[in-house]
Amino acid sequence: MTRALIIVDVQNDFCEGGSLAVRGGAQVAADISDHIDGQAASYDYIVATQDWHIDPGAHFSEEPDFKDSWPVHCVADTKGSEFHRDLDTESIDAVFRKGQFEAAYSGFEGVKAPDDEVPTGDQKLGGGAAEVDEDPMTLDDWLQDHEVDDVVIAGLTTDYCVRATALDAIQAGYGVTVLVDLVRGVHDDKAEQALEELEAAGVELAG
């Protein structure tokens, strides 16, 4: 059985000080790093998703409702779109960017970043805004190519991108676990509802 950790959108704009900050986002970044440090042997692969907006239309609004429209965030090639400094990126095998020209919540809507832009401890992502891949690789493509059976999900946010990624993973036929101590939500009540929905859909909730 082949297992992958999917780190969802642990980016500067979703952590304290960012344009769409989630309370506890920076702590999630640090806690995921600790998890990787202690549990790396549990995973065959580690991948990450990244909001990467260029012109996402009505996803951005000057008067956001914080449900379907949002303040400007995670604009491609800006500091806000970079992974948070407390997230250890050295073990990440591939990065999948989503939402370039439309709203996109699920990591399964993302396409693979160029290999030379996958971050390590000495690199940052960048340079992707102007590039168009004529045959992009999706997250599902990559997982299938690497014969992944089970995915474990952590990151931001519980009620939006974590939820959507987990539901799409279930739909695609993977065994799915969400690490509830390594996620945070935008809205506390919706985050709780999202976890209940995921469990009902067949997602395992683990501490």
Q: So which residues are the catalytic ones? A: 9, 98, 161
Q: List phi, psi (to 5°) of 7.
A: -95, 115
Handedness of CA 161, 164, 169, 170 (dihedral sign): positive
Q: In the numeric block, which tokens belong to residue 102?
A: 């439309």
DSSP 3-state assignment of 92? coil
CA distances from 20 to 7, 25, 57, 155, 199 (A): 18, 10, 17, 14, 27
What the block records as the tokens of 98 is 């989503």
Q: Could you identify the residue written with the tokens 């990624």?
A: 165
CB 191 within 8 A of CB 158: yes
Torsion angle, alpha carbons of 167, 170, 171, 173, to 10:
160
* Residue burial 109-133, b: 16+ Cβ < 10 Å; e: rest: bbbbbeeebbbeeeeebeebeeeee
The CA–CA distances, whole Å, from 181 to 15, 25, 59, 62, 156 equal: 16, 12, 28, 33, 12
